[in-house]
């Protein structure tokens, strides 16, 4: 890592407001590692949803990054199916594993009161609700699924660091699947207004600083032996694959999943140093999604990576 990146990273962490629940997150991570990090068990950290950039310390306004969290939630289900233990680092309020087939407001839509004291599941949702509750509870109660919520870029990057350092001892058995949409620019905490910015003071002039590229540190320091997958999102298909290729080389990722905003649910391209593999949703199958073949492919590649490592 070059020294200017090193000092950008130091100043990001030094200026970030301390994580409120650091101790309890650490405790949960330690428990998860103790339970899952033995033998040949594989673990994946799935990041999901967009980070926010607060504009005021007592935040009323913020800049957001688009992501519904569908990619991360769906992929988590497939990784669990493939036998992985998962740390699901997600933006509060975004899609959750096993809830994809439920309506937006499941509590109000899926249940009805039968009398003063009792409620029941409404018929059309009965199977979906049962499946969601059963599978979700089994994963959490079994200790295979640890869910950690974030909102701001400060929380996200502090938590990602904690997760990565906790998984370092797993070496190649750990995977990072970085689907979260991460802010590129932020307002350093120390130069941020404390109170709500007043609208009477004319046009708003604000300087945003570049968020340091933490993929480099993840790769070189936090978890150097892990299998790392990052995502590249563009709205212009003409530059997508070149940008993915650049990210692959610059951050030494094992693969970069390239996707375009409008077609992201239909097709993605997995870019590695020797191939560009197009992965499509199976249109002949109702309810199918692109995460199913994508996770299958990455699980296979992870197996090969572990075998090479042990050879």
* Contacting residues toward ligand 9Z3, per CB under 6 A: 67-71, 178-179, 181-182, 230-233, 259, 264
What CA–CA distance (Å, rounded) separates 90 from 98?
14
What CA–CA distance (Å, rounded) separates 170 from 304?
16
φ, ψ of residue 6 to 5 degrees: the values are: -55, -45
- Give me the least distance between CB of 20 and ligand 9Z3, in Å please: 24
Q: Show the CA angle centred on residue 62, arms to residues 59 and 67, nearest 5°.
A: 130
SS3 33: helix
Give me 106's structure tokens: 């499941």
Q: What is the CA radius of gyration of the chain?
A: 21
Q: Which of 182/192 has CB closer to ligand 9Z3? A: 182
What CA–CA distance (Å, rounded) separates 114 from 123?
13
CA torsion through residues 91, 97, 103, 109, sign = negative
Kind and range of the H or E element at 63? Answer: strand 62-64
Give me 199's structure tokens: 């609208």
Q: Which of 33/226 has CB closer to ligand 9Z3? A: 226
What CA–CA distance (Å, rounded) separates 218 from 226?
9
- Give me the least distance between CB of 182 and ligand 9Z3, in Å please: 5
């Amino acid at each position: 890592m070059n020294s200017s990146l090193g000092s950008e990273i130091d100043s990001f962490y030094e200026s970030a407001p301390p994580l409120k629940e650091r101790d309890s997150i650490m405790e949960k991570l330690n428990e998860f590692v103790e339970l899952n990090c033995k033998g040949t068990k594989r673990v994946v950290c799935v990041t999901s949803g967009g980070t926010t950039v607060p504009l005021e310390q007592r935040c009323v306004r913020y800049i957001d990054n688009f992501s519904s969290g569908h990619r991360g939630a769906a992929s988590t289900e497939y990784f669990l199916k493939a036998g992985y233990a998962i740390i699901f680092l997600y933006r509060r309020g975004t899609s959750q594993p096993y809830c994809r087939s439920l309506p937006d407001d499941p509590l109000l839509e899926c249940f009805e009161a039968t009398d003063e004291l009792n409620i029941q599941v409404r018929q059309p949702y009965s199977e979906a609700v049962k499946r969601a509750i059963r599978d979700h509870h089994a994963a959490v109660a079994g200790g295979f699924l640890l869910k950690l919520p974030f909102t701001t870029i400060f929380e996200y990057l502090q938590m990602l660091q904690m997760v990565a350092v906790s998984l370092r001892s797993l070496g190649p058995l750990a995977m990072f699947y970085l689907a979260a949409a991460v802010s590129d620019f932020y307002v350093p905490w120390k130069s941020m207004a404390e109170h709500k910015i007043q609208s009477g003071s004319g046009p708003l002039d604000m300087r945003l600083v570049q968020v340091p590229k933490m993929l480099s540190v993840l790769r070189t320091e936090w978890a150097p032996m892990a299998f790392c997958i990052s995502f590249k999102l563009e709205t212009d298909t003409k530059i997508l694959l070149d940008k993915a290729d650049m990210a692959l080389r610059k951050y030494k990722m094992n693969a970069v999943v390239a996707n375009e905003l409008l077609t992201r649910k239909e097709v993605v391209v997995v870019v590695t140093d020797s191939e560009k593999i197009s992965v499509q949703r199976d249109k002949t199958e109702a309810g199918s999604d692109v995460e199913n073949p994508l996770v299958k492919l990455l699980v296979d590649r992870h197996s090969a990576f572990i075998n090479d490592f042990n050879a």
